[in-house]
Every structure is written in structure tokens, then in C-alpha cells.
Amino acid sequence: MTKAIRFENVWKKFGLRYWSIREAIPSLFGLKGGSLSDFWALQNVSFEVEEGGAFGIVGPNGAGKSTTLKLLSGVMKPTKGKVEVRGKVSSLIEIGAGFHPDLTGRENIYLYGAILGLKKREVERKFDQIVDFSGLEDFLDTPLKRYSSGMYMRLGFSVAAHVDPDVLLIDEVLAVGDIAFQRKCLERIKELRESGTTIVFVSHNLYAVKALCRRGLFLCQGKAQEMGEIGRVVHAYEDYVRKRGEGEVGMRRGSGEAEIVEVKLLNGDGEETGVFRTGDRMVVRMEYVAHRRIEEPVFGVTIRRADGLLCSAVNTRLDGFHIENIEGEGAVELEYRSLNLLPGTYRVTVAIHESEGMVPYDYHENAYTFEVRTDLGDEGAVYLEHRWRLDGKV
């Protein structure tokens, strides 16, 4: 298989810089201020992506993900090493870069198309497709400054998604817009992937990374930590997040179209509590508000031990518990008939996702804590119902 991207032992250094001549003068004379330290954004990173492949890059902020994309797009050059990209590259790096607020939607489609390397004729040919995808027919002659930020992104993505590049670089584009449009974007990206476009995808949305990519890279502080099959890469990243975030309440994110407003942990008597005994009944009650009608939502609950060990992860879709739609206020309850966890502190993550389980409406990571106590002397993570028997000569 031919390689579309070759990233070979790449190093990238950023030197700290001076903003004005006044600051720069002392350094000319070797005075202090001249010895600003350099910063290595990438250290000996290598990977390859075959033609038509989809490659995911994950890692914490400042890991070097964006730098990698900038090197791939040719905006920056590596300090050491080699970057080779075959074919026409298009970036969904900053959607709408180059839009002008005073121009109309129509004018901006042409402008952004030209910036992304389309000829005027090509834009004309794809114009209807672009407009159709964006769903903004009625606003084509409105200046962009009157657009909401959601509409802005729609227009930007719609143009960018129709450039038909050989290599598509995507950076966190799915973090914006409403869920319906986010799904549309993901669908379009999948479509491009199926039609043979090579894709490099950077995202914090690990579901989307796993859904889109087969292989990937986990970067941390400019170094490759794990590379290869995407499941392994994401797992390594999750491990890292867990270790670093030990004892911390995780982040809350999501589009907010539906929110989990209250989470209660109830015991066998239906009382709210934070302490359970091994084998108790536990109910996780999630009270939600859906700000609009949401079709086929998926609710999920995860339990982790304080050290990060994943004890249980379930969701309504996997369990075949189908919810037609939700609108307004309501609650979903998950019952664990017998909570067979051994003593320790546990953290609960709750989430509402769209039907594919890829983009969250609301996601509370490790936000709820409970403790388990017991009279049992078992060691380990879970209590497995057991019995001893002696079979031998007495």
C-alpha cells in the first residue's frame, strides 16, 4: 500500500521571540534576555498513514497535536526530520479562517473556497451542494456578521467538506455546533473516508476518534507514547488521563441541548446515600432536562474505582433499552440489583449521548462519589459469589 503521509523522526523547536526591537536590543549585546530557552514541541515523532487510511491523534493540551497538523499542512517546517505528504491537502483546522464578516454568505463561500484552493469554476459547480449541506439557503445574502456562531461554523464546514482533498486534516471541528450538525459532519467525514480520502483526525472526543480511525498516535509533551491500533492508543491515553487526574473530579462537557441536572445514588430503601455495602441494591437516578425534542438518546453510566480501574460501563443502547425520544424534564434510573464491589471509594460518570454514542449532549466525568463497606474479608475489586467445598478423604 502506498503511503499518503510519511512523518519521519520529526523534531520541532520553537524559539521564544521578541515582540519589539526594544526587547531585542539587549540580546544583540549578549545581555540578559538573550538566553531565552527553546521549547521542543515535537521530539522524534514518526508515523505513516497509508493512502485512504484514517489516523487519529490524541493527547492532552500542549502535546504537539496541532503542531503535527501544521507540519502536515505545510504551514510550518520541521526543525529536524522529514515530513512528506502526497496529494492535495485540505485542513479543517480552523473553520472559517478567512471569512469576512462584512461579506454575505454567498461571497464568503467563494472567498473561503479560493483560500482552500478551489478554482472559481469548482466552487460554482459545488455551490448548490455546499449550500444544501449547510442548510443556510435563506441566509445567503445576509452579511456574515449577522450569523450566529453556529451558522458561521456550518458555512465553514460545508465549504471545507466539499474541497475533495487527497488528505484531510481535522482538528477539533466537532467541538462546536449543535448535535444534529455534528453528526452530519461526522457522516460527511466518513463519506470522504470511504471515497478514499486519507484522514488525520485530532480530537478530544475519543468516541469519534475510535469510530473514525483504525490507527492512531498518542502524543504527550511532544513524544509519541503509543502508536498503532486505535483501541490500544485510546486506552493508553485514557490510562494517562486517569493517572494524572487521580482524585480529581473530571470535566463536564457536551452540547447542552439536553442536560443531566441532578444525579442521585439511592439505596435499597430509596434513600439517597453515599455509602453502600457489598451486595446492596443501588439505583443511579439521573434527572434530565431536554431543551428540545431529542430522538433516540443514549444514557450511560460508568463506575471507576478511585485508582481509575474501570469496574463497569453500561449504556441504554448496549443493553437494548430503547428510548424513543425525550423532551422537557424527566428521569432515567439504572438499578444494580446487587452492587458486588469490594470496599473502596468509587466514582460515577454519567452521560447522555446522541444515538450513535459518539457525541455527548452532557457528560459528567467522575463527578459522583460513593463508598463501599463490607464485613467480608475478600480482597480484590469485586465480590464474586462463591462457596468452598472440600472433596477428599477425611
| CB of 17 vs another protein, minimal distance in Å | 6
Q: Does 389 bind another protein (CB under 8 A)?
A: no
| CB of 119 vs another protein, minimal distance in Å | 6
Of 205, 244, 228, nearest in space to 357 by CA: 205
Q: Does 103 bind another protein (CB under 8 A)?
A: yes
Of 70, 47, 40, nearest in space to 171 by CA: 70
Size of the site for another protein (CB under 8 A): 33
Q: Does 82 bind another protein (CB under 8 A)?
A: no
Beta carbons within 10 angstroms of residue 262's beta carbon: 11
| CB of 385 vs another protein, minimal distance in Å | 58
Q: Does 194 bind another protein (CB under 8 A)?
A: no
Q: Does 261 bind another protein (CB under 8 A)?
A: no
* Cα gap 197→162, rounded to integer Å: 12
Query: Could you tell me which stretch among 85-93, 175-183, 241-249, 341-349 binds another protein (CB under 8 A)?
Result: 85-93
Tell me the torsion sign for CA atoms 380, 382, 384, 387. positive
Site for another protein in 115-134 (CB under 8 A): 115-117, 119-120
Interface residue with another protein among 45, 63, 89, 208 (CB under 8 A) is 89
Q: Does 24 bind another protein (CB under 8 A)?
A: yes
Cell of 227: 502508536
What would the DSSP string read from start to end of 30-45?
Answer: T-TTS-PPEEEEEEEE
Instruction: Yes or no: say if 160 and 92 are a contact pair by the CB < 8 Å rule.
Output: yes
| CB of 15 vs another protein, minimal distance in Å | 8
| CB of 183 vs another protein, minimal distance in Å | 25
Q: Does 20 bind another protein (CB under 8 A)?
A: yes
Instruction: Yes or no: say if 85 and 74 are a contact pair by the CB < 8 Å rule.
Output: yes
Q: Does 311 bind another protein (CB under 8 A)?
A: no
User: Is 175 or 381 the residue whose CB approaches another protein more closely?
Assistant: 175
Q: Does 98 bind another protein (CB under 8 A)?
A: yes
* Cα gap 286→267, rounded to integer Å: 14
Of 170, 156, 180, 240, nearest in space to 205 by CA: 170
Strand locations in 101-257, DSSP E?
Answer: 167-171, 198-202, 215-220, 223-229, 252-253
Residues that bind another protein (CB under 8 A): 14, 17-22, 24, 70, 73-77, 89, 91, 93-94, 97-98, 100, 102-103, 107, 110-111, 114-117, 119-120, 143
